[in-house]
Chains A and B, each alone.
Chain A
Amino acid sequence: DQQVKQNSPSLSVQEGRISILNCDYTNSMFDYFLWYKKYPAEGPTFLISISSIKDKNEDGRFTVFLNKSAKHLSLHIVPSQPGDSAVYFCAASGRKTSYDKVIFGPGTSLSVIP
């Protein structure tokens, strides 16, 4: 039973346009959410995070939105660049869950077409 879901296995976007990656979670105890980016043959690297006390967090071209009532978050990349082509993982954790485990979704593969 997946607690963190990314229902789009892949996404293709034209360079310069907006990329929107979606993530849903089921566990209401989660209060901290993160996005990681992964290139082939490398470990994931942290991209951006948001805590449940906020509904938006921006870092340059990347913005994460959190809708707690819908248990949904999204990552917006504007403008998209070819170097953004990678697998993006949504992850969640909760201070009240056992030892604050970090649970990942299955990932979305983003292709940015030049």
Chain B
Amino acid sequence: NAGVTQTPKFQVLKTGQSMTLQCAQDMNHEYMSWYRQDPGMGLRLIHYSVGAGITDQGEVPNGYNVSRSTTEDFPLRLLSAAPSQTSVYFCASRRATRTLYSENEQFFGPGTRLTVL
């Protein structure tokens, strides 16, 4: 299993450009999410999905769009990049259902480092 894969690893954009960060997982996980990591802010949830066709907003959704057409893929779109979106982006996946007796760990990809000039 490759786990969670993200492409590209690095990206530089100019303000106003658009791009899509790719995320794929091969563990048949229902739940997928996108986080951004900024110094002193930790990991902040952008958007998440509990299954194909179902997405919802996290803590910092503005400026980002997502869609989930398959279980495996969960791309993150920046429609008009801004310098405030300079960050490291992590995609994660896990099983959707759990009880208080089961583990619920998320598996993270290696990250995409994005710079917006």
- CB pair A43–B42 under 8 Å, yes or no, is no
Does any Cβ of B come within 8 Å of A102's Cβ?
A: yes
The B-contacting residues of A in range 1-56, CB under 8 angstroms, are 6, 9, 31-32, 34, 36, 41-46, 49, 51-53
How many chain-A residues does the 8 Å CB contact rule pick out?
30
The A-contacting residues of B in range 21-42, CB under 8 angstroms, are 31, 33, 35, 40-42
Which partner residue on chain B sits nearest A104 by CB separation? B43
Task: Known contacts A51-B100, A99-B56; decide if A106 and B111 are in contact (CB<8 Å).
Answer: no
Stretch from B12-20, B79-87, B101-109 contacting the other chain: B101-109
Which partner residue on chain A sits nearest B111 by CB separation? A43
- CB pair B56–A104 under 8 Å, yes or no, is no
Interface centre among A9, A89, A95, A106 (most CB of B within 10 A): A106
- CB pair A99–B109 under 8 Å, yes or no, is no
Task: Known contacts A102-B106, A104-B35; decide if A95 and B98 are in contact (CB<8 Å).
Answer: yes
- CB pair A34–B108 under 8 Å, yes or no, is no
Does any Cβ of A come within 8 Å of B75's Cβ?
A: no
In the bound complex, what is the Cα–Cα distance between A103 and B41 (angstroms)? 12
In the bound complex, what is the Cα–Cα distance between A91 and B45 (angstroms)? 11
B positions within 8 Å CB-CB of A = 4, 31, 33, 35, 40-45, 48, 50, 56, 58-59, 90, 92, 94, 96, 98, 100-101, 103-111
